[in-house]
Amino acid sequence: MVKHADIWLAIDRLAERSELSASALARRAGLDPTTFNKSKRITKKGHERWPSMESVVKAIDAAEATFHTYADFVDRDGAAKAQTVPLLGFAEDNALDFFNDSGIPTGDGCDAISFPDARKEGYFARKVLGRSMEPAYHDGDLLILSRLAPLSAGDRIVLCMRDGECMAKEFRAETVKTIEVRSLGAGQAVATFQLTDVKWRARVMWVRQ
């Protein structure tokens, strides 16, 4: 049975997923900022007020989610069991196509895998294709990445350039203009890249080989 509280909770979860308040999500969706406010969920006479299907769909689009994600949020037990992150490949011909300028997957054409911390914004999975990431990672390895996790010297990262090339490196340091990394291969050569040439970088959080 679908409950009034669960419908509204799912909207709150969409907002949280996007690191927004309910008001900010409504604003991004092109709705009145008060549309999803808690004060609007119960009338002055104590009757339950339900969100319109139109406002729900606009909220889903604004959160760059799918209806299935929203449905999982409505089904609280299902949401706990079915957390997923987008799954992408490392092929150079799609390295830029599935991401916005912040490095977050757009969801277009993405597959997905189950992962316990899926609700953390910015988490995504990439499956290594071919030998481009050797010797650190091999064909078929699955990486869980976070673009928001803080970086410390020695962390392994994936660095994707604006020309579409993606590399596995060891993070060393970053300034306002450059990022310094070390090769994970033989010799561990150090390289410095201009941040203007970097599409995004993400910390490797977990690997399944």
Point out the domain boundary residue: 55, 81, 107: 81
Same domain assignment for residues 90 and 167: yes
CATH code (residue 58): 1.10.260
pLDDT tens for 31-57 read: 998 999 888 888 888 889 899 999 999
pLDDT given at position 122? 66
A 10 A CB-CB count for 183 gives 16
Same domain, 10 and 55: yes
Q: Are residues 88 and 77 in the same domain?
A: no
**Per-residue pLDDT, 164:** 78
> Taking the model in full, what pTM does it have?
0.53
Q: Name the H helices within 30-173.
A: 53-62, 67-74, 76-81
Q: Are residues 11 and 99 in the same domain?
A: no
Residue range 162-194, pLDDT digits in tens: 887 888 899 999 999 999 999 887 677 899 999
158: helix, strand or coil? strand
Q: Are residues 47 and 98 in the same domain?
A: no
Instruction: Quote the domain boundaries for residue 68.
Output: 4-81
Between CA 148 and CA 162 the distance in angstroms is 19
Q: What digits encode the pLDDT tens for the residues 133-164? A: 777 888 888 888 888 788 999 999 999 888 87
Type of residue numbered 3: K
Residue 110 sits in the same domain as residue 72:
no
- One domain, residues 75 and 92: no
Sign, CA torsion 178/92/145/23: positive
Structural domains in the chain (count): 2
Assess whether 50 and 88 both reside in one domain. no
Taking the CA of residue 179 as centre, how many other CA atoms within 13 Å lie in the half-sphere pointing to its CB?
A: 21
